[in-house]
């Protein structure tokens, strides 16, 4: 598999799954732009790591909820590299609470960061991808968008929303050669899941047929497949990378 000649944008590429996707794409020969919200040092470090593969790389400080900024970032990437072939909407947060205790802010922050961001960046890339006569949009959902999860009504709703959005986007833009798919990870070892207590962790592993947490590389390899021409006949699909958790 190779991504040579592809120009890619990964939102939330400073840490975790997004960083790993950016590194995997660069190893496969793609130019990669990343965005981040706060982690400037980490983002700059990622850019240096990406460039070691002989590709071009750049980081943008861009809150994913900012509609205008999304357009600015996308236009900048297209100006710099001439086209944008792959978008990975990865930026996301959790603010878990049982519904009875969930505040309006916890609901709004998660829905806006996880779902509106997908609208922002997908809308921004649609025209450049149409001009390039093709592209691949990869949206990072979650298995809880399929199964639901106590304590995560906001997060599950945002991730379920991503599935409906992606299928609609795919139906609107497939005739222009633009594909869109969702990766739905299960429990993956990153900072987002780093503060779960031992009991919760043990029960997640017990509910996972493969009996272990996933690694960011296992999500990144799926993203690389969806970014590549090897997946040329796949659109509107939801691919679980969850060790069998939600089957």
Contact set with ligand NAP (CB under 6 A): 11-18, 35-39, 42, 63-65, 90-93, 113, 140, 142, 185, 187-188, 190-193
- Joined together, the tokens standing for residue 1 give 């598999």
Q: Helices in the chain by DSSP H: which ranges?
A: 16-27, 40-51, 67-81, 104-111, 117-131, 144-147, 153-173, 198-206, 216-227
Shortest Cβ distance from residue 158 to ligand NAP (Å)? Answer: 8
155 among known catalytic residues: yes
Shortest Cβ distance from residue 91 to ligand NAP (Å)? Answer: 4
Residue 65 vs 74, nearer CB to ligand NAP: 65
Q: Considering the candidates 36, 121, 155, 187, report the single residue annotated as catalytic.
A: 155
Residue 62 vs 132, nearer CB to ligand NAP: 62
Residue 114 vs 132, nearer CB to ligand NAP: 114
Shortest Cβ distance from residue 51 to ligand NAP (Å)? Answer: 18
Residue 177 vs 189, nearer CB to ligand NAP: 189
CB 187 within 8 A of CB 208: yes
Local structure of 216: helix, strand or coil: helix
CB 78 within 8 A of CB 31: no
Q: Which is it for strands 135-140 and 31-36: parallel, antiparallel or unpaired?
A: unpaired
What count of other Cβ atoms lies within 10 Å of the Cβ of residue 205?
A: 15
Please, what is the Cα angle at 124 between 237 and 143, to 5 degrees?
A: 30
CB 193 within 8 A of CB 152: no
Shortest Cβ distance from residue 180 to ligand NAP (Å)? Answer: 16
- List strand residue ranges (DSSP E) for 55-117, in order: 57-61, 86-89
Q: Which residues are catalytic?
A: 155
């Amino acid at each position: 598999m190779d991504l040579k000649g592809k120009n890619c944008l990964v939102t939330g590429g400073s840490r975790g799954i997004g960083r790993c996707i950016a590194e995997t794409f660069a190893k496969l020969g793609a130019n990669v732009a990343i965005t981040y919200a706060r982690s400037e040092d980490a983002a700059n470090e990622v850019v240096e790591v990406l460039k070691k593969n002989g590709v071009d790389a750049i980081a943008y400080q861009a809150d994913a909820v900012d509609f205008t900024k999304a357009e600015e970032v996308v236009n900048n990437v297209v100006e710099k590299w001439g086209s944008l072939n792959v978008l990975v909407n990865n930026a996301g947060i959790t603010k878990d609470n049982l519904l009875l205790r969930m505040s309006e802010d916890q609901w709004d922050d998660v829905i806006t960061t996880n779902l509106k961001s997908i609208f922002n960046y997908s809308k921004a890339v649609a025209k450049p991808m149409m001009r390039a006569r093709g592209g691949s949009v990869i949206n990072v959902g979650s298995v809880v968008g399929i199964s639901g999860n106590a304590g995560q009504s906001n997060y599950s709703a945002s991730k379920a929303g991503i599935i409906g959005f992606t299928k609609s986007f795919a139906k609107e833009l497939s005739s222009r050669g633009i594909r869109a798919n969702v990766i739905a990870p299960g429990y993956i070892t990153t900072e987002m899941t780093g503060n779960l207590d031992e009991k919760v962790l043990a029960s997640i592993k017990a509910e996972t047929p493969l009996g272990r947490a996933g690694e960011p590389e296992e999500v990144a390899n799926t993203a690389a497949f969806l970014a590549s021409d090897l997946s040329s006949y796949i659109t509107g699909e939801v691919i679980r990378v969850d060790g069998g958790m939600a089957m």
